[in-house]
Amino acid sequence: MKNTILILLITALLTSYSYAFKGIVILIADGDTITVVHNGKPKKIRLYGIDTPESKQAFGNQTKNFTYAMVYRKSVNVEPVTTDRYGRTVGIVHVNEKCLNSELISKGFAWVYDRYCKKDMCDKWKKLEEVAKQSKAGLWSKDNPVEPWMYRRKGKKWKI
């Protein structure tokens, strides 16, 4: 029984790890979207569980610059979570033992995107977001920052 449980545990760990991949970041589209070269092919990665300001929003450029400084031309580990409607891999990105997703939150450059953030780590990320708010880090230095999903919704022209 013990051996069976141990084998199942090891298999689960190896299986989850085998889906992760390494690559070099070659493009930063915005704060939460990067392109990684993996197996000689570019692969767009949308960061899981977060949303960063759009380029025309307050802190949009600072967020993109932060992401650039953290990962551009660096080797990253990508842990895929899903694929979005645009065909991008949605994942968690690690560089030099730091999680880009959580770094963006803790520095005040991202919101936890509650609508899509469903993993256990999202609770930890919500706590990081609260600390960033309390310390007025990044976008939290502004009164009432507008969530990117609300900003995008306002920018759409509705047809009746």
Is 153 considered catalytic here?
A: no
Alpha-carbon gap, residue 36 to 86, rounded angstroms: 16
Q: Choosing from 54, 73, 97, 115, which is the catalytic residue?
A: 54
Sequential pLDDT tens for the chain (160 residues): 665 554 444 444 444 444 699 999 999 999 999 999 999 999 999 999 999 999 999 999 999 999 999 999 999 999 999 999 999 999 999 999 999 999 999 999 999 999 999 999 999 999 999 999 999 999 999 999 999 999 999 876 543 3
Residue 77: Cβ within 10 Å count: 17
Q: Choosing from 73, 88, 97, 147, which is the catalytic residue?
A: 88
- How open is the CA angle 50-89-87, to the nearest 5 degrees? 115
CATH of range 20-139; options 2.160.10.10, 1.20.120.1200, 2.40.50.90, 3.40.50.300: 2.40.50.90
Cα–Cα distances in Å, from 142 out to 17, 87, 101? 39, 34, 21
Is 103 considered catalytic here?
A: no
DSSP 37: E
